[in-house]
Structures are given as structure tokens and as C-alpha cells.
Structure 1
Amino acid sequence: MSTQTTPTGPATLDDSEPSYIDYETFLDPSFTPASFANTLVLATNNPSDTPLDLSTPLSRVLFDIQEIDSHIDSLTTRSALPLLQYTQDNAEASNHILTQLQTQITALNDSYAQLDREVTQKHAEADQVRAVASRLWDTLRLARAVSRCLQLGRRLEAQHAELIGTAPAASSSTSSSSSSSSTTTITTTMTTTSATASGPGRAGGGSSREDHRALVRCAHTLLALREVFAGAGTPGAEGYGLDRVGVVRTLREGVVGPIERAVRETAERVVREFSMMGGVSSSTSSSSSSSSLSMSAATFAQLEETKARTVSALVALWLLTPAPTKSGERWVPSLMLQALEGYLRLALQSSIAGLSRALATLPSLEKTLAEVSARCQNVVALEAVLEGTKPPAHPGVPAKQAAQVGGNMLQPLLTYLETGSLASYYWRTMASSLAPRVQEIIAKGGVSARTLRTNRQSVGDAIRECVARGSQLPSAVAAAAKGTSRASETKEGGKHWEREVAVMVASVVNNLGR
């Protein structure tokens, strides 16, 4: 029987050729030898017979195997030439493909070698150049950052010299030093700065050469230095890597740190020494007219200077307050609030202690009440200064958070103290602390207690007038503190401070007993 060659091999025999083998059974995907053997045994034996005849199914299997073997022999014998021809054709095709591929492979290898010479090697060289350029750029960026830090450090030293009133000496020292010795200059001038920071030429201390405006300039320079130092550990930031530079560490520890502390202490001292009623003498009478006459010693220019010095100190403390470190964290000018709270606490402590002693020795009550009212007038003047001062823009605080603080410097202080006005806070705090002192005087008895009970009415009237007088400012001080006339407030003073008067009078009179 003839066969034909297909692309995949010789064709099988004609399907019409008889065969005793059931190929469909063997080609069934579910075929298993055990199942097939069981079928043969059951087909050739009676299930009820005890001895099983296995020779018949075994002969059947052997016959099928011989049939398949003879069929394979027949196919190979008949298809030998087509198979050999098919194999030869495949070999020739493979050789042809190999010959064609060999040419392409040779060309590809040549191209790869050329690519390696022209691209890979040059890329390696270019990568080295890139690494060198990157390191040079990092060095240049770091050098610029160091140079900026040194310039800011020199500027800070000069501004601090202006603040403490030694600017000419600092200028001559700077001009005599060369640019190559900047590190030594900063280190040595740090010693001079630290020594002069506690000297007599301090801001607010009365030196004729000091410049309180240098407080704000120092604060801005310190903020610029903070911004540069903050990026020391952030890759890509301006100050990245500065913490590894020795001269910058020396600058930070030897110049910036001491000057920042000195600026902060100077600003806190200016706030602590604030007084626009400094001309009030110890012999001030109980009348409001004599309080106004005692202000003749303080000129309007001096009051303006006091206000300007205080505003500079407040702005410096506002700016020096650290910015929030976490996103969404609420920011408040904590340094300014602490300084103002310390000022109020000191005024209250002095007033409470003095008034407690005066109530025990009534002849000194008039003088003490004049001092207490003068301190309250200073508090009211400070409130007017804060109310009329717009807070500066803090570089580290988002505009949205800065707007929440308030439109003036008074609002965050009132929020911090949880009060509506500083005068009200002053009188109410004093009244709460004064009541136990009065009870202590009465409990001790003696001449002081009897005299205090006897003069109950006059003491109450004196305290009432003290509160009314202390809650108002003379026109000159009001104009200097706020820039507007307080005549309308003076007319309504009795009504405006009625509750504070009642609280103060009650803290003394109501604890005198009968």
C-alpha cells in the first residue's frame, strides 16, 4: 500500500485497512490498565467460577501486542524511504538556516563589539565624569551654604553690636580682618559678643549708642540661619551637609547660640522693664489731676521711644518663637506670651505684696495705692501698644495659621490668659489673692485689724478711686501708646470698670467682718 509524506512526517495507513485492535479504547483519555485488565478477565471468565482462567485474556493481550508490533514493522518497512527523505530534508533545511543565521550572528557580534567600543566604554567614562561633576556640584553647593552661613554670622555679629551699642568697635574689627581668616574672626568675636552681651550697654538699659531696631534685624537674621541649619539633614536642601562642616558647628555653637540667647534675654528684659508711667512719683496724690501732672517729666518723644523699643522686643520674640514641627500643629507666639505673662505676674506680685503691707499700716496706703494704680496704667498702656501693633509675618508659619492667631498682638495674649482685657485680669487676679491676706490681718487682730475696720469706708473709697484711676491713661500716654485719643473711654471709665471696682472693694471690705 502506498504512503505519502506530509510536512510533519509520513502519512498513516489507509483507514480502510482491517485491524483487530480497538484503537479507540486505548486512545480514550479515561483508559486505565487496571480497568482494561478487569474487563478482559470478566469477558473471558464466569464470575461464579472459583478458579480464574487468565491464559485467555493474557493471550488476547499478547495477540494485540504482536498485532501492533507487526503493524509498526509494516509501517516502517513501507515508509522507510519517505522517512529518510523527510529526515534528509529537515537536515538540509537546518543546515541552510544555520548558514543564514551564522552570517547574521557574525554581523550581530560585530555590531555588538562596535556598540561596546562606542557606547559602553564611553558611557563608563561619561559616568565617571558625571560622578565627578556631581561631587563638584555638591561641594560648590556646600561651599555656598557655608559662605552664606558665615555672611549671616558676620551680619548677626554686626547687628548684635548695634544692639548693645558697640557697632563702631565691631566695624573696625571687621574691617581689619582679612577674608582668609573668617573662621578665626567669628570665633574670636564670639568671645567679645558673649562678654558684651551682659555689659552695661544693653538694649533698654539707657545706652545712648544702642539701637533697639537691631532686635528685629537680629531676629530676621536668626530666622535665615535657622532655615539654612534646618536643611542640614534633608537631601537637596540648601544646608544639606552643613552639620559635617567644622566651621559651621563652631559658628552655630559659638556665635549663633549665644547671640540668640542674648537677643531673647534682651527682648524679655525690655518687656519686663516696660513703663510708660515712669514719671509718677512716690508722693502721687489720690486725685487723677495730680497723676496727669506727674507725667510732665516724660516727654512725648520719650513715650514714643519706649513704645518703639517695646514693639521691637515683642516683634523679636514673635519671630524667634519656633515654627510648628508637625503638619496641622497649632502655632502660638509662646516666647512673647511668656514674656508678657512674666511682666504681668511681676506687676501683680509687687502690687499684692505692697498693698498687703499697706493694709496692715494704713498711713502708707495712699502711696501704695498710687503705685498700684501706676502699675495698672502701665498694663493698660501695654494693652494699647499690643492692640495697635500688627504681628509680623513669620516665615515658618503658614499664612492660614498666622491668620488664626489674630490681627494684632493683643488677641493671642487675651486668649492665652482667658480674659477680655488686661486691666480686668490685673484687678481680678489681685482681688483673688488679696482676700486671704486681709483675712490673715483680721485673724491676727491688734491695732492693724482695729484700724482697718475703723477706716472701712475710707479704705473702700481709696481702693475704688485707685481702680478707676489705674484703669485709665492720661491723654499723653494714651496718644503715645495707641496713637488715638482715649477721651471717650475716660468719660465711660466708671461704667466700664464697675465690676472690677466692685471685686476689688469686696476683696477687702467684705473680709473685715463687723
Structure 2
Amino acid sequence: MSRMIEPVNNSGTNGEDDEYIDYALFTAPDFNVISFCNELVVATNTATDSSVDLTAAQQRVRFDLEEVGKLLYNESVENHSSLIAHAAKLTTVVDAQVVSATKTELEAVTQSFQRLEQQVLVPYNTALPIYTALTKLHATANMLRGFTWFAYLARQIVAMQQAAASASLAAKTDSNGTAAADASRYNVRAARTYAELTRHLTNFPKLRALKVVSEIEQVVRSSRESSSTTGLR
């Protein structure tokens, strides 16, 4: 502790004030902050004191800090060119150390991403066009299935309407009423089938986008209107 509170001959640029700061003490590799504080408190107090007074210790540390600040300012002003050159070299060294320290982590992250890319992204990018094609194929299959059932119902309606018309003509010369009964039965079946066709179009509204569906629907509607005299609605 005697080195700190006794004058020390330093060759700094700060004049006589430099002599009271032992810079070698603070820059020593084995400098310990806790030991320094303990020694400072002991040096600024006496064993007979009933309490510890930190005022003197704080003033000494504040004085040292101010002197160090002055020294750093003077050094930076007088030797700014060499300090800038040294800082540039130091920056290069630090950058190299940072890159070296993070190189392993960067390689690990890169390998993880490459593994993720091979196991997830590549299969996904490969499967995406196939999935898109399957989605379109599924939609097309649904459309064709809906149209097939629509066309079947439309044929049934037209066939039953034709049968009802034939039976109605036969009823004019049929004395026992069998033909008239057949005509009524065909008309009822045609009406029920038409109701089912209407529900089918409601369940598959996209079918109306097909031109052939609109044409067939128009034919069926016209056929119903022409058969209205037979009771088909």
C-alpha cells in the first residue's frame, strides 16, 4: 500500500501531479481490485477508530481517476497520429478474433440449415408442384363426377317425359285407363327426378359454369314446360 500513497517518480506528461499515482500498480497483471480497496481503507483509517471512514479513500480514488483522465487526454492530443494507427491495427486484430471465435458457430448453423434444406425444403419444393397438380386433378374429378350424375338425371327426366307423352296419346284410345295411369306415373317420377336435379345443381354450383350444363338445363326446362298440360311441374 505504501507504493500508492507515497510519491512515485513517473515520467508522464501531467507534471508534478503524476508523481502521486503509481501507474505500474494499476497496470500490473496481478492487480486485484478487492485487495486494493482493502489496503486503501486500512491506509486511510487507524486501528483505534470506532468506525470506518470512507471519505478519504473516496477522495483518493477520485483524485486518481481525475489524474488518469488528464493523462489520457494529454496523450491523445500529443500522440493522436500514432494512436489512430494503433487503433486501426487493433480493430483489425479484434475483427479477426471475432471472426475466428464465431467461425465454429457459423459453420454449425450453416450445416444445420443445409441439413434442414435437404430434409425439409428440397422435398417440400419437389412435392409442391405434385400437390398442386393433384389438387387440380381432384377438382376436375369432382366436376366430372358431378356432371355425370347431372347428365344421368337429365336423361331420365327427358325419357320419362317422352314416355308420359306416349302414354297420354295411348290413353285417348285406351278404354280401361291403363295408359292414363302410366302417364301419371311417368309424370310423377319425372317431377321427383327434376327436384333431385335441382338439388344437385345447388350442391355443385360450379357445374353451371359449364356451357353444356346450361344447354342441357335449358332443354330439360323446355321439356317440362311443353309437358305442363300433363301435370308435370
Length-normalised TM-score, structure 2:
0.50
Any conservation in 1 of the 2:160–2:189 contact (CA below 8 Å)?
yes
**Which residue of structure 1 lines up, in the alignment, with residue 98 of structure 2?**
100
What code does the residue aligned with 1:129 have?
Answer: A
| Aligned partner of residue 2 in structure 1, secondary structure | coil
What code does the residue aligned with 1:130 have?
Answer: L
Alpha-carbon spacing, 1:259–1:201, altered in 2? closer, same or farther (3 Å): farther
**Which residue of structure 2 lines up, in the alignment, with residue 219 of structure 1?**
194
Residue 13 of structure 2 corresponds to residue 2 of structure 1:
yes
CA distance in 2 between counterparts of 1:113 and 1:145 reads 47
Q: Which has the higher contact order (CA 8 A, sep 6+)?
A: 2
Any conservation in 1 of the 2:154–2:197 contact (CA below 8 Å)?
yes
CA distance in 1 between counterparts of 2:140 and 2:166 reads 39
Q: Which has the higher helix share?
A: 2
What code does the residue aligned with 2:89 have?
Answer: A
| Aligned partner of residue 213 in structure 1, secondary structure | helix
Query: 1:207-242 deviations in whole A, cap 9, x for unaligned?
Result: 44222322431332331343356325xxxxxx8xx6
CA distance in 1 between counterparts of 2:197 and 2:145 reads 16
Query: 1:403-438 deviations in whole A, cap 9, x for unaligned?
Result: xxxxxxxxxxxxxxxxxxxxxxxxxxxxxxxxxxxx
Aligned counterpart in structure 1 of residue 114 of structure 2, from 103, 116, 119: 116
Aligned counterpart in structure 2 of residue 11 of structure 1, from 73, 82, 93: 73
CA distance in 2 between counterparts of 1:219 and 1:12 reads 104
**Which residue of structure 1 lines up, in the alignment, with residue 130 of structure 2?**
132
Q: Provide structure 2 residue ranges, at least 5 long, that are not aligned to the other structure.
A: 1-11, 15-66, 173-178
**Which residue of structure 2 lines up, in the alignment, with residue 259 of structure 1?**
220
Q: Provide structure 1 residue ranges, at least 5 long, that are not aligned to the other structure.
A: 14-74, 167-198, 233-238, 244-248, 271-308, 317-514
| Aligned partner of residue 182 in structure 2, secondary structure | coil
CA distance in 2 between counterparts of 1:116 and 1:131 reads 22
Shift of 1:108: 1.3
Residue 153 of structure 2 corresponds to residue 155 of structure 1:
yes
Alpha-carbon spacing, 1:107–1:85, altered in 2? closer, same or farther (3 Å): same
**Which residue of structure 2 lines up, in the alignment, with residue 209 of structure 1?**
182
Shift of 1:257: 2.8
Shift of 1:157: 2.0
Alpha-carbon spacing, 1:152–1:256, altered in 2? closer, same or farther (3 Å): same
Alpha-carbon spacing, 1:126–1:265, altered in 2? closer, same or farther (3 Å): same
Paired residues in the alignment total: 160
Shift of 1:202: 5.7
Alpha-carbon spacing, 1:162–1:215, altered in 2? closer, same or farther (3 Å): closer
Alpha-carbon spacing, 1:123–1:264, altered in 2? closer, same or farther (3 Å): farther
Shift of 1:143: 1.0
Alpha-carbon spacing, 1:257–1:12, altered in 2? closer, same or farther (3 Å): same
Any conservation in 1 of the 2:153–2:194 contact (CA below 8 Å)?
no
Alpha-carbon spacing, 1:251–1:93, altered in 2? closer, same or farther (3 Å): closer
Any conservation in 1 of the 2:156–2:190 contact (CA below 8 Å)?
no
